Chain A
Amino acid sequence: MRPGRWRRAGRWLVGRLLGAVFVLWAVATLIFFAIRLVPGDPAEAILGGPGSQASAEALDTVRRQYGLDQPLLVQYLAQLGRLATGDLGTSYSLRTDVGRLLLDQLPGTIGLALLALVVAWLLAIATAWWATLSGRIASAVSSGLEVVASAVPHFWLASLLILVFSTELGLLPPVSTGTPAGLVLPVVTLAIPVAGFLGQVTRDSLLDAAATPFALSARARGESPSGLFGRHLLRHAALPGLALSGWAFGSLLSGAVVVESVFARPGLGRTLLGAVTLRDIPLVTGVALVSALAYVVVVALGDLAERAVDPRGRAA
Chain B
Amino acid sequence: MRSRLPVLIAATAVASLVLAGCTSGDDPDASSTPVSGGTLTYASGDAEPTCLDPHVGGNYPQALVSTQYLESLVSKDANGDVVPWLADSWEEASDGLSWTFTLKDGVTFTDGTPFDAAAVAANVAHLQDPTTLSSTGYLALGKVTGVEAVDARTARFDLREPDSALLESLSQPWLAMESPDALTRSQEVNCESPVGTGPFAVESWTKQQQVVLTRNDDYSSPPADAGHQGPAYLDEIVWRFIPDSASRYAALQAGQVDVIDNAQPDTLVAAAKDDSLDEIDAPRPGASNRIELNAGKAPFDDPAVREAFIRGVDVDSGIDSLFFGTAKRSYSPLSSVEPLAFSDESLFDVDTDAANDLLDRAGWTTRDADGYRTKDGVRLAATFPVSTNQSIPAEQSLFEQVQAGAKDLGFDVTLEPLDLSSWYGALAANEYDLVSAPYTKVGPDVLRILYDSDGITPAPSGYFANLSQTSDPALDDLLTRASETSDADERADLYQQAQQIILEGWHVLPLYDQQNHYLVRSAVQGVRALPTVQAPTMYDAYEAS
On whether the two chains bind one another, the answer is: yes
List residues of A whose CB falls within 8 A of some B CB: 38-41, 43-45, 47-59, 61, 93-96, 101, 104-105, 158-159, 162-163, 166-167, 170, 173-175, 177, 261-264, 266-267, 270-271, 274, 276-279
Interchain CB contact under 8 A, A57 and B48: no
- Is the CB–CB distance between A166 and B250 below 8 Å? yes
Decide if A266 touches B421 in the complex (CB within 8 Å).
Answer: no
| Chain B residue at minimal CB-CB distance from A60 | B460
Q: Is the CB of A167 within 8 A of B425?
A: no
B397 proximal to A (CB < 8 A): no
Given A57-B130, A94-B50, A95-B187, A163 and B250 contact (CB-CB distance below 8 Å):
yes
B369 within 8 A of A: no
B46 to chain A, nearest CB (A): 12
Quick check: A264 and B241 within 8 Å, CB to CB? yes
Most central of B244, B256, B424 by chain A CB within 10 Å: B244
4 cross-chain pairs, A with B, having the tightest CB-CB distances, nearest first: A39-B425, A266-B208, A174-B250, A48-B57
CB distance from A195 to the nearest CB of B (A): 23
Return the contact of A271 from the options B208, B247, B253, B426 (Cβ within 8 A): B208
- Contact between chains at B208 and A55 (CB < 8 Å): no
Would you give 6 A-B contacts (Cβ < 8 Å), ordered by A?
A: A45-B421, A94-B50, A173-B256, A174-B250, A174-B251, A262-B244
Q: How far is the CA of A120 from the CA of B294 in the complex (A)?
A: 53
| Interchain CB contact (< 8 A) of A277 among B244, B250, B389 | B389
Contact among A48, A50, A57, A270 for B420, CB-based, below 8 A: A50
User: A53 touching B139 by the CB < 8 A rule?
Assistant: yes
Any chain A CB within 8 A of the CB of B404? no
- Given the interface contacts A39-B429, A166-B254, A274-B47, does A52 sit within 8 Å of B135 by beta carbon? yes
Q: Does B317 contact A (CB under 8 A)?
A: no
Determine whether B200 belongs to the interface, using a CB cutoff of 8 Å to chain A.
no
- Chain B: minimal CB distance from A99 (Å): 14
* Contact (Cβ within 8 A) B254 A174: yes
Are A177 and B460 closer than 8 Å at their CB atoms?
no
The smallest beta-carbon distance between A294 and chain B, in angstroms, is 18
> Are the CB atoms of A39 and B50 closer together than 8 Å?
no
**Alpha-carbon gap, A175 to B257, bound state (A):** 10
- Could you say which residues of chain A place their CB within 8 Å of the CB of B4? none
Q: Which residues of A contact B130 (CB under 8 A)?
A: 55, 57-58, 61
Q: Which residues of B contact A279 (CB under 8 A)?
A: 421
Quick one: which of A38, A61, A264, A274 contacts B422, CB cutoff 8 A? A38
Q: Which residues of B contact A163 (CB under 8 A)?
A: 250
Please give me the residue from chain A that is nearest to B241 by CB atom: A264
With A52-B463, A53-B459, A174-B256 given, is the CB distance from A266 to B423 under 8 Å?
no
Give complex CA distance A49, B133 in Å.
Answer: 11
**Cα-based distance from A159 to B463 in the complex (angstroms):** 38
Chain B residues proximal to chain A, CB less than 8 Å: 43, 47-48, 50-51, 56-58, 130, 133, 135, 138-139, 187-188, 191, 206-209, 240-244, 246-248, 250-251, 253-254, 256-257, 389, 419-426, 428-429, 459-463
B449 to chain A minimum Cβ distance, whole angstroms, is 10
Chain A residue contacts of B135, Cβ below 8 A: 47-48, 52-54
- Who on chain A is nearest to B462 by CB? A41
**In the complex, residue of chain A having the shortest beta-carbon distance to the beta carbon of B186:** A95
The answer to whether A40 touches B422 (Cβ under 8 A) is yes
Least Cβ–Cβ distance between B542 and chain A, in angstroms: 24
Question: How many Å lie between the Cα of A177 and that of B48 in the bound state?
Answer: 18
- Cβ A55 vs Cβ B209 within 8 A: no
Q: Given B57, B240, B419, B429, which contacts A52 in the complex, CB threshold below 8 Å?
A: B57
> A167–B254 contact, CB under 8 A?
yes
Residue pair A277, B419 in contact (C-beta under 8 Å): yes
B-side contacts of A177, CB under 8 Å: 256
Closest Cβ of chain A: how far from B339's Cβ, in Å? Answer: 27
Across the two chains, which residue of chain B brings its CB closest to A267?
A: B208
Q: What residues of chain A lie closer than 8 Å to B429, measured between beta carbons?
A: 39
- Other contacts beyond A177-B256, A264-B247, A279-B421: 6, CB < 8 A: A47-B461, A50-B423, A55-B459, A174-B250, A175-B247, A175-B256
Alpha-carbon separation in the docked complex, A267 to B206 (Å): 12
Q: How far is the CA of A261 from the CA of B48 in the complex (A)?
A: 12
Is A56's CB under 8 angstroms from B460's CB? Answer: yes
State whether A40 and B424 are in contact (beta carbons under 8 Å apart), knowing that A104-B207, A105-B208, A173-B256 are contacts in the complex: yes
Option from A43, A54, A174, A270 in Cβ contact (under 8 Å) with B208: A270
Residue from B47, B133, B253 within 8 A of A54 (CB atoms)? B133
Considering only CB atoms, which chain B residue lies closest to A277 in the complex? B420
The residues of A that contact B254 with a CB separation of less than 8 Å are 166-167, 170, 173-174
Q: Determine the residue in chain A with the shortest Cβ distance to B437.
A: A51
Chain B residues with Cβ below 8 Å from A159 are 246
Inter-chain CA distance A262–B133, complex, in Å, is: 32
Q: Smallest CB-CB separation from A101: which chain B residue?
A: B207
Name the residue of chain B whose CB is nearest to the CB of A96: B188
- In the complex formed, the residue of A with least CB distance to B458 is A53
CA distance A53 to B411 in the complex (A): 33
Q: Which residues of A contact B206 (CB under 8 A)?
A: 266
- Nearest B residue to A45 via CB reads B421
Q: Which residues of B contact A170 (CB under 8 A)?
A: 254
Knowing A52-B461, A53-B463, A94-B50 touch, does A39 contact B421 (C-beta < 8 A)?
yes
Establish whether residues B251 and A48, one from each chain, have CB atoms under 8 Å apart when the complex forms: no
A170 CA / B250 CA spacing, docked (Å): 10
A-chain residues with CB within 8 Å of residue B419 when the two chains form the complex: 38, 276-277
CB distance from B436 to the nearest CB of A (A): 14
Q: Which residues of A contact B57 (CB under 8 A)?
A: 48-49, 52
Chain A's closest residue to B421 (CB) is A40
Complex alpha-carbon distance, A277 and B61, angstroms: 15
User: For residue A167, which residue of chain B has the nearest CB?
Assistant: B250
Q: Are B208 and A95 in contact (CB under 8 A)?
A: no
